[in-house]
Structures are given as structure tokens and as C-alpha cells.
Amino acid sequence: MSRRPFHLLTPLAATLLMGTAAQGQEHGAHQHDHEAHGHAHETHRHDRGHDNDRADAGLADLRLSAALTVEGIYHNRVSGDEGSPAGFGHGEGHDEGHEDHDAHGHEHGLDEGFNLGHSELMLRGQTSLFEGQAVVSLTEDDVSLEEAFVATRALPHDLRIKAGRFLSEIGHVNSRHPHAWDFIERPLVNEYLFGDHGLREDGVQLTWSPSPHATLGTEWLQGDGEPLSRFDEGGSEARDSGPRLVTIFAKQRAALGDGQTLDYGASAGVNRQYVRLDDHGEHAHSLEGDGWFAGLDARYHYRSGRHGGRGDWTLGAEYFYTERDLTERVEHHHAWETRDDFTEQQDGAYVEAIYGVAPHWELGVRSEALGLTNETVHVHPSELESVDASYRHSGQATWRFRDHAFLRAQLSHEDFAGQDESWVAMLQFNATFGHQAGHAH
């Protein structure tokens, strides 16, 4: 694997650690609960039944909650056809060798007319020592387990461990569920670099909060997701055991005074196995190697203090860049021959602004660019091909008519490289019933 990613990760973590300020996010608030359990254990250490006593004490503060989010979307492509931005199909469309990729590709496009959208059921349990959460996704086509994890709440030195299936904490949008977005669609850069569900993996996360409003973290993930950790069966490589994907991230909140805050962060990751197969029947091309990504995000908030959010401002942006170091291997008559080496490069960004124009009413605009750097391998002949960038511009109006319920109208203009320009109009209804404390917002 290329050593360049590791040279990137070290200064990235050091820089953000040095910028840590003493403002706050609450980790370790349950430290005294943990110590109280410790003293109780000392008191009963000679009691033959102390194990049962501790178990009862650990469940005495158990809290359970549930929430149901229901979403409906009306979708109307006013002009143009649905398509993927050039440079991000990566060989899709061949009859063989892409069954798994197509199953995890961008197949979640909305039908014309009414759609169920992304509904979900969230279950959460919490004690003084641990918390657990499971999120079940409900779509028109299937029911799937979106998240299921257990996390600690009382480790010393403001440490926290999460294990299971979860959304990665990289960037801003990735860890947020659709009902917490400011627009109907996931940003292009998140969708096409990390997948329709963002970067969601099975693995372990470790975070440390050196001050109340700063967090450093790392994740060791299985690396099964598309497209970042793509692995097509049938190439010359066998699949390595996990974890195959490692991330680091740093987050900081700065209070600027007068209702103003600034959240900013950086993240990066290394994927140690990537395989993309183009099978042409009589022969096949396999691009095999590793990759890395890095990103920056920032979000400014202004709270006016007026009723219903009137006069509030939010301005946010994210940028991600990814590289893949690949070796081409060609198969003829069941024998693989090594050809050339290539380095693919892609990136993307968005900027968005939200303003509260009236109580419970907001207007928002977002501009996105995908593939400002867009170099991918094209076969027949095998060469590195530079592709134009794709753009999408959206405007939305949202009415938050009750807590955890809103109605949103959105109009988007798509200018994808390799596709005709198009206009898309959407109307979204979203409501959450119950306690949703487990979600990021």
C-alpha cells in the first residue's frame, strides 16, 4: 500500500489537536455514576451474592425509548433524463462481473410521482455505563438494519468506544439521518464517494474529548461498502480479512459570541483493498490496489433568539478528495498478466446557506460540484482519462409546522458531465413520533 496516506494522517490529527479550545460537548458526564458503582462494589466485595447485586444495580437506571420517522416524497423530473455524472460509473453496464456493484450502486433514485422515501424505526436503550441503538430502515423495496451498536458512557479520561454497525463520524452530513438534512437529497460528493447510505460500516470507533467541545476519533471498519471499498469478485486477488478501512477525524466547536458558533473539522481514511473488474467475456480487466481520502468541513450558525427561528442563519460547506493507486491485470485463458499502474483522483464539494425568513419557515440554497479533479482509468485502450466536472444547484423552502415535523419543497438544476441538463422538482413530508435522542442533528 502507498505510504502517502499515513504522511497525511499524522499532521492532520496534530494540527486539529493543537487548535482545541475549551468549549463543550458532553462526554464523561456520567463519570460519577461509574464511581458510585465502584464504591458499591467495594462495600459488597465479601458478599457471596455481590455479582447479582451489581447486575441489578446496572439495570436499575435502564431507560428505553423508541421513535418512528415517516417520510413521503413527490418527485417530478421536469426536463431531462436521470443519469450518473461522468467518471463515477466505473465500468458499470457490463453483463458480467458487476452484479454485486449494481446491487450497491446508485439504484435508490426516486420514481416519478409519489414515493415512500426513507422511513425508519429507532430503538434505544441506556444505562449509566452503556447505551445501545438500533435503526431499522423502511423503504418501498425492503426492510433492512441500518444501524445497530453499543457504546460506552463512563470510560475514564473522556474516552468512548462504539462497536457494531454505525454511520461514520467523518465530515458533517455522513453521520446524520435523512430527517436531519437541510435538503431532500444527500450531497453528490457524499453519495458518489461513499455510497447511497454514506460511509456506513461494521467495526469499532474510539473517540477522545480533550476539552468539552473538541473530539478526536478513529474508526476501524470492515470495509464492505461501495464505492470506497469496492471489491468485485472474479479478479486475481482474494479478499483480505477485515478491518480493511481505517478513518480518523477531528471536530471542534468555537463560540463566537452573540449567538454565533462555528463547527469545523477534518477527516481522512485509508482503504487497503480495492478491486474493480471489467469482464468482457473472452477476457477481463481487473484494477486492484488501495486508496485514501481526506476531507474538510465547516458550519457557521447564528441564532437570533427570535420566535420560531426567524432571523437564524446557517452557512455550511464540505470538501472531500480521494485517490486510488491501482495496478491493471488482464486475464486471458484463465491466466492473469500484470500491465500498467495508474493513480485515479476524484473530489467534490458543496456550499449551502439556510435562513429563517419567518417563524417556522426557512429558505435554503445549495451549490454542488463533483469531479473538479476527475481522472479515472478507461479500458480499450487502458489509459487515464480526464473527465469534466458535474454540478447541481438547489433551492428549498421548508415549513416546520410542529416539533420534528416539516414540509419541504425543492427545485434542483442538474448539469452532469456526459448528460443533458435537467430540472427536478420535489415535495417532501417528514415527521418523527417519539423520542429521537440517539440521532445527530
Q: Residue 410's pLDDT band (boundaries 50, 70, 90)? A: very high
For 49-71, the pLDDT digits (tens) are 444 554 454 566 889 999 999 99
Closest CA to 132 of 164, 167, 107: 164
Cβ distance 71 to 404 under 8 Å? Answer: no
Decide which of 262 and 11 is more confident. 262
- CB hemisphere CA count around 331 (13 angstroms): 16
pLDDT at 283: 85
Least confident of 36-40, 52-56, 434-438: 36-40
Cβ distance 397 to 362 under 8 Å? Answer: yes
* Helical segments of 137-241, H only: 188-194
Residue 87, amino acid? G
Q: Which three cell numbers stand for residue 434?
A: 417519539
The answer to whether residue 28 scores a pLDDT higher than 50 is no
Q: Which three cell numbers stand for residue 361?
A: 419557515
From CA 349, how far away is CA 346, in angstroms rounded? Answer: 11
DSSP per-residue string spanning 32-67: HHHHHHHHHHHHTTT-TTHHHHHHHHHHHT-EEEEE
From CA 207, how far away is CA 296, in angstroms rounded? Answer: 18
From CA 357, how far away is CA 166, in angstroms rounded? Answer: 35
pLDDT at 7: 44
From CA 86, how far away is CA 417, in angstroms rounded? Answer: 5
H-run or E-run covering 200:
strand 200-211
From CA 393, how far away is CA 416, in angstroms rounded? Answer: 11
For 313-343, the pLDDT digits (tens) are 999 999 999 999 999 999 887 789 899 999 9
Quick one: average pLDDT of 173-199?
Answer: 95
**CB atoms inside a 10 Å sphere around CB 34:** 16
Closest CA to 419 of 76, 112, 111, 85: 85
Helix axes 50-60, 31-43, angle to 10 degrees: 160
